[in-house]
Structure 1
Amino acid sequence: MKNNNSICFISFFFLFIFMFINMLFTLYFLMENIVIFLEWEIMSFNSMNIVFSILLDWMSLLFMMFVSLISSSVIFYSKSYMKSELNLNRFIVLVLMFVLSMMLLILSPNIISIFLGWDGLGLVSYGLVIYYQNVKSFNAGMLTVLSNRVGDVMLLMVIAWMVNFGSWNFIFYLDLMKMDFCSNVISGLIILGAMTKSAQIPFSAWLPAAMAAPTPVSALVHSSTLVTAGVYLLIRFNALLINTEFLKILLLISGLTMFMAGISAVYEFDLKKIIALSTLSQLGLMMSILSIGFSDLAFFHLLTHAMFKALLFMCAGMIIHMMNDNQDIRYMGGLSIYIPMTCLCFNISNLSLCGIPFLSGFYSKDLILEMVSMSNLNFIVFFLFYFSTGLTVFYSIRLSLYLMVNEFNLLSVYNLYDEDYVMLKSMILLLFMSVISGSVLSWFIFNYPYMIFLPFNMKIMVIYVSILGCIMGWLISLMNLYSLNKFLNFYKLSNFLSLMWFMPNLFTYGLNYTVLNFGKNLTKNIDYGWSEFYSGQGLFNIIKNYSIILNVFLLSNFKIYLYSFVLWMLFMTMFMLK
């Protein structure tokens, strides 16, 4: 156990120091406007060079700073959260491999090394999702890894198409590749790959399923690593993608993802799944603002979202621990009396998610919605943005009321012990960042001020939808949603909405059913059917029957032998007489 704790502390210490160094370099690179491109030649053979490339600019350094800060907090948190785990070393090594894969992806200007980091994320995420070894985890792990394999195949095809340009350093060709058939193919493949990793429709089913992983992993996956890889890839390829038809399709798909995730979260009662669906909603928001052409804004929201989402999962992990590993919010309530510090962190991160003024989420979310209001977009996109914002407030307020305000519904309150100070230290660090990161980053990223002029009602449209969502969340938390739907005869509709528009059934079981059913019939009719009867099983039965007869002759008493001898003599005599 002591050895386990030392590994946790060493990992935390190195990641925290790395974060601090990154922060200093980010400030320097921003002030001096520096970009460094490094190439390390690993091997040279005749005319073939194998090189490893690294791109250091303010964006990659800033993102690495956030990844290392969140991963150091998560490892420090795991020291207490996973203390009863026998294989804690294995868990920490998996988390470190996960973080290193993400950093490889962040630093790469080369499509090959991006693929290595991309595939590393998919592979290690499988190991982390199946960490608790049960059937549910195995199913979730297979769903996660197979969905991500689609994105891996897309990236492999991009590597094949990039051969036409003479090098895999895509960063050199982004401006040259425009308006070319080859670049259109690459654009489509990049967008498809990013959609699988960032779980847009129709690949959304794996994200809530990945909740089978331990909570510290969920905090890492849903904030700054696996799901943000797709968004980051699109930000890097933004110069190539701009003004292509694919971005218009992505705008609609990501808007629908945001809407679908918000609706599903309203019907959900699993604490971790509600937060996972909120991640899906925010990913839709990032993707859609990126589709309009504001890649800096998408990156800004990606970073602010990372902070409060990691904190939200950490608070959820502590609450689940205290609830005897129960995740159903209907059994919770009145927690603010028993665990006030955790509830404080939970509420601030939840309000930041809603975009309450002067918390970190407000700076990015408000700017995104005002830029949408200024842009030349149709009513459907406008509706999806604002309605999804209202839904975010709706399910966040509903969640807070279920946890903090309603009556305590679990069997006993004795398991509500005082808060764990190791977990609280890591949570308070992220709490501080959740409050200030939005305002600090708005000075970092935008070196010129945005002046947005809108009519009064348009300007405070965000407040309108937030207040409406808040009222709806308060009303719904007072009543049982399912009984209300049965009463209104909307039970089938609620089933459709709560099950993510039947997406897990359509795009996982729906696609697999025919193949699996064919395999079952093949096994039944061939392996266990006629071929078995005539070959393996039939041959076995014939040899077995002969051996039984032979065994009777060999192991029976002497009488049979004498009878056979007498019969044989009779036959011989009759033969001789003839």
Structure 2
Amino acid sequence: MCSLSFFSLFLSSTLLFILGIYYLILDYNVFIEWELFSLNGSMVVMTFIFDWMSLIFMSFVMYISSLVIYYSEDYMSGEKNMNRFIIIVLMFILSMGFLIISPNLISILLGWDGLGLVSYCLVIYYQNVKSYSAGMLTALSNRIGDVAILISIAWMLNFGGWNYIYYYSFISDSFEMKLITMLIVLAAMTKSAQIPFSSWLPAAMAAPTPVSALVHSSTLVTAGVYLLIRFSPMLEVYNYGWFLLLIGCLTMFMAGFGANFEFDLKKIIALSTLSQLGLMMSILAMGYAKLAFFHLLAHALFKALLFMCAGSMIHNLKDSQDIRFMGSIVNFMPLTSVCLNVSSLSLCGMPFLAGFYSKDLILEMVCLSWINCLIFFLFFLSTGLTASYSFRLFYYSMSGDNNYYSSSFFNDSSYYISFGMVALLFVAVFGGSFLSWLIFPIPHMIVLPYYLKFLTIMVVVLGSYMGYFISDFKFSYNLFSLNMLSFVSFAGSMWFMPYLSTNFISYFSLKVGYYSSKSFDYGWGELFGGQGLYSLFIYIIGYIQCWYDSNFKIYLLTFIFWMFILIMLFFI
């Protein structure tokens, strides 16, 4: 089933990409709509839009998912129910497809809710307490966004339909559309894990690594960004951009900062995804929707490769994810090491790799735009932090002695895993330039002073040096000393957000429930409720039964008593 799914998805991706390029060159859109039923003047319709954006994004999703499924053939080889795993992944891809090609809130909800439900099934795939907790956090965090979409569907009843692209022309003075846009922003923040909904993203690492490669590159987490790209005209009309810009920059900074104190390989890459999502949200909030989409596509290519390399390393290290156990991996797994470092450099924005074309353009547009010093500082500091944790990962995994068990043996011998990585390696190197020529056919010259032009590359180099500095034994020993432990725990735990999302919310309500149960159900409620009434009735019944049992004695006693009274009265 793996091979069949791989070939069908790969073929579909190729056809959709060719069609997407054709539509892009001709600036051509196809809008398909059919009415399911009409209720109170509002038509429930199924709507699909095929334009260059939806087709190219669909082709990327299918290309990455085809390689992920092929990669799973080896990675999930110990799985008994392999077909079940492939079917769940295909359902995940189908839900994302529904979301991408829908310009209608009803059909968007099908894909949106489908992503939430199937992601829960995938996060709890390895059945243990940690997975169940992570799955519940993921499902409940995303549920907030689902509710926001449902409320916006209810509010769009005022317009008589749910095709939001029809209402761009007369929305400027509409209170309903202002509220709907606010709800859509909330939904996008939950799905793309912006502050304060960030804690579910690293928790979702409990899923199998091929699923993580799919989720963090092109599906679940990019759904919120893609939805806001579609709603971007409304963001500009209602001026919600300033709020989204601040949230995106803080998310980018928080994730980049936290990744420098993390030792779990998959969590470092998850936090890098969160940082890039913050970057996409920020540039989208500044009004550059096409640029955010370009970075979304470029990011999907190298992030899927990064996760595949991490999966290969974890698979060979017998499921060990701690980077402190690694070291000199390049001597044992040269192909995986090359792919990991190319994708890491692409993530940092190293010139002429996929990430450079989008990231450099974004940072130059930030320099050119009318923004304040805080946003400018957060953008460039976050870029430096990206280079810092990437170099730290390189330092721990590639240099020094190997710290794993000396009796273990690992290599690049798996054909399926190597094929998946090499197929993504080429697009991670050449994909950015190819996409930039396609999406921006007219080259734009951004004229900046030389110190701003070189600022990006300077920040990347300084960030790399900072990553080496953090990784140095003496510094890391001082950093994790008792004096700095509170700072490290604050920065490394995403500003205590996992605690705020779980214990902080549930502790008070659970405590109130415990004490109320103890006082009412097992206390006064027990005394005056069922147990107390039961005891009272038993006592009364026993008393009445006693009367019945000694009926003759009572009769004789009463007779003697009355005779005594009569004799007393007679003598008086």
Q: Same fold (TM over 0.5)?
A: yes
Q: Distance in 1 between matches of 2:147 and 2:121?
A: 20
- Residue 174 of structure 1 is aligned with which of 133, 149, 168? 168
Q: 1:95 aligns with which of 65, 89, 93?
A: 89
- State the 1:218 CA deviation: 0.5
1:567 maps to none
Asked if 1:465 is matched to 2:441, the reply is no
Greater Cα shift, 371-380 or 486-495: 486-495
* 1:285 aligns with one of 273, 279, 290: 279
Kindly indicate whether residue 186 of structure 2 is the aligned counterpart of residue 192 of structure 1: yes
Mapped partners of 1:386, 1:92: distance in 2: 40
CA displacement at 1:189 relative to structure 2: 1.1
2:153 is aligned, of 144, 159, 165, to 159
Q: Distance in 2 between matches of 1:69 and 1:451?
A: 32
Kept after mapping to 2: 8 A contact 1:140/1:209: yes
Aligned equivalent of 1:132: 126
**1:525 Cα deviation from its structure 2 partner:** 2.5
Q: Quote the Cα distance in structure 2 between the aligned partners of 1:40 and 1:130.
A: 37
When residues 156 and 373 of structure 1 are mapped into structure 2, their CA distance, relative to the original with a 3 A threshold, is: same
Bigger drift between 291-300 and 153-162 goes to 153-162
Cα distance, 1:488 vs. partner? 8.7
Answer yes or no: is the 8 Å Cα contact 1:222–1:279 preserved in 2: yes
Provide the aligned length of Structure 1 versus Structure 2.
554
Is residue 2:137 matched to residue 1:146? no
Contact 1:175/1:240 (CA < 8 Å) preserved in 2?
no
Residues 413 and 397 (structure 1 numbering): CA distance in 2 closer, same or farther, change over 3 Å?
farther
- Pick closer, same or farther for the CA change 1:47–1:285 going to 2, 3 Å: closer
Q: Which moved more, 1:528-537 or 1:316-325?
A: 528-537
Deviation at residue 244 of structure 1 after TM alignment: 2.9
Is 2:445 the counterpart of 1:451?
yes
Tell me the distance in 1 between the aligned counterparts of 2:535 and 2:4: 64
The answer to whether residue 485 in structure 2 is matched with residue 497 in structure 1 is: no
CA distance in 2, matches of 1:503, 1:177: 36
Kindly state the Cα deviation for residue 176 of structure 1 after the two structures are TM-superposed: 2.0
By how many angstroms is 1:89 displaced? 1.4
1:576 Cα offset (Å): 13
- Equivalent in 363, 373, 379 of residue 379 of structure 1: 373
Match of 1:528, SS? helix
Name the SS for the 2:495 alignment partner: helix
* CA deviations over 1:458-501 (Å, ceiling 9, x no partner): 00001111111111111222226652125593321121111111
1:412 deviates by 2.6
**Amino acid corresponding to residue 99 of structure 2 in structure 1:** L
Q: Which amino acid aligns with 1:278?
A: S
Would the alpha carbon gap of residues 486 and 438 (structure 1) be closer, same or farther in structure 2, given more than 3 Å must change? Answer: closer
- Whether contact under 8 Å (1:16, 1:69) holds in the other structure is yes
**CA distance in 2 between partners of 1:538 and 1:410 (Å):** 64
In structure 1, the gaps of 5 or more residues are: 1-6, 546-569
Structure 2 matches for 1:233-382, cutoff 5 A? Answer: 233-382=227-376
Checking the alignment, whether the CA contact within 8 Å between 1:175 and 1:239 is kept in structure 2 is: no
In structure 1, the residue corresponding to 2:240 is in which secondary structure? helix
- 2:567: which partner in 1? none
Instruction: Give the whole-Å Cα distance in 1 for the aligned partners of 2:42 and 2:287.
Output: 38
Q: Distance in 2 between matches of 1:220 and 1:315?
A: 13
Q: Distance in 2 between matches of 1:381 and 1:46?
A: 47
| Separation of aligned partners in 2, 1:84 and 1:361 | 35
Q: Secondary structure at the match of 1:267?
A: coil
Q: SS where residue 292 of structure 2 aligns? A: helix
Say whether the 8 Å CA contact 1:270–1:327 is kept in structure 2: yes
Report the alpha carbon displacement of residue 305 of structure 1 after superposing the two structures with TM. 0.2
Q: Is the 8 A contact 1:482 1:491 kept in 2?
A: no
Change (3 A) 1:530 1:364: same
Per-residue deviation, 1:413: 4.6
Partner of 2:401: 407
SS at match of 1:371: helix
Partner Cα separation in structure 2 for residue 336 and residue 394 of structure 1 = 20
What's the offset of the Cα at 1:385? 0.4
1:186 to partner: Cα distance: 1.7
Matched ranges for 1:478-493 at <5 A: 478-479=472-473, 483-486=477-480, 489-493=483-487
Offset from partner CA, 1:92-142 (integer Å, 9 cap, x none)? 111111110000000001011111111110111011101111110111011
Which range moves more in the overlay, 156-165 or 70-79? 156-165
Further displaced range: 487-496 or 224-233: 487-496
Residue type of the alignment partner of 1:387: L
Opposite residue 186 of structure 1, the aligned amino acid is: I
Matched, 1:430 2:424: yes
The structural deviation recorded for 1:522 is: 2.6
Query: Per-residue CA shift, 1:280-307, capped at 9, x if unaligned?
Result: 0000000000010000000000000001
* 1:413-459 Cα deviation digits (max 9, x unpaired): 52314431111111111111111110010011112211100001100
Equivalent residue number for residue 208 of structure 1: 202
After TM superposition, give the deviation of residue 510 of structure 1 in Å: 1.4
Quote the Cα distance in structure 1 between the aligned partners of 2:301 and 2:206: 22
Structure 1's 523 and 357: CA in aligned 2 closer, same or farther, altered over 3 A? same
Q: Is the 8 A contact 2:354 2:429 kept in 1?
A: yes
- 2:76 alignment partner, one of 74, 82, 99: 82
Counterpart in the other structure of 2:51? 57
Are the aligned partners of 1:390 and 1:465 in contact in 2 as well (CA < 8 Å)? yes
- Distance in 2 between residues matched to 1:323 and 1:81, nearest whole Å: 13
Q: In structure 2, what is the equivalent of residue 388 of structure 1? A: 382
Question: In structure 1, what is the Cα distance between the partners aligned to 2:475 and 2:79?
Answer: 38
Supply the distance in 1 between the matched residues of 2:558 and 2:448 (Cα, whole angstroms): 122
Look up the equivalent residue of 2:209 and give its one-letter code: T
Return the letter of the residue paired with 2:414.
D
CA deviation profile, 1:390-427 (whole Å, cap 9, x unmatched): 00000001001101112211123523144311111111
Per mean C-alpha deviation after superposition, the further-off stretch among 236-245 and 394-403 is: 236-245
User: Which residue matches 2:548?
Assistant: none
Shift of 1:531: 3.1
Name the CA shift for 1:50/1:539 in 2 (closer, same or farther; >3 Å). Answer: same
Contact 1:195 1:203 in 2 (8 A): yes
**C-alpha distance in 2, partners of 1:292/1:372?**
9
Look up the equivalent residue of 1:39 and give its one-letter code: E
Q: Quote the Cα distance in structure 2 between the aligned partners of 1:525 and 1:576.
A: 51
Task: Say whether the 8 Å CA contact 2:172–2:238 is kept in structure 1.
Answer: no
Contact 1:370 1:459 in 2 (8 A): yes
C-alpha change, 1:221 and 1:544, in structure 2 (3 Å) is: farther
CA RMSD between the two structures: 2.6
Contact 2:470/2:476 (<8 A) preserved: no
Q: Distance in 1 between matches of 2:132 and 2:474?
A: 32
C-alpha distance after superposition, 1:356-392 (max 9, x if no partner): 0110000000000000000011100000000000000
More deviation, 470-479/333-342: 470-479
The 1:542/1:495 distance shift into structure 2, 3 A limit, reads: same
Distance 2:53 2:557 in 1: 107
| 1:325 aligned counterpart, secondary structure | coil
Residues 306-364 of structure 1 show CA distances to partners (whole Å, capped at 9, x for unaligned) of 01101111111111111121111011111000011111111111111011011000000
Conserved? CA contact 1:174–1:237, under 8 Å: no
1:564 is matched with: none
Aligned partner of 2:543 in structure 1 is: none
Could you tell me how far 1:543 is from its partner in structure 2?
A: 11
CA distance in 1, matches of 2:555, 2:152: 87
The answer for the alignment partner of 1:29 in structure 2 is 23
Number of the residue aligned with 2:550: none
**Structure 1 contact 360–436 (Cα < 8 Å) conserved:** yes
2:334–2:412 Cα contact (<8 Å) kept: no
2:37 is aligned with 1:40 = no
> What residue number does 1:66 align with?
60
Q: What SS does the aligned partner of 1:314 have?
A: helix
TM-score (norm 2): 0.91
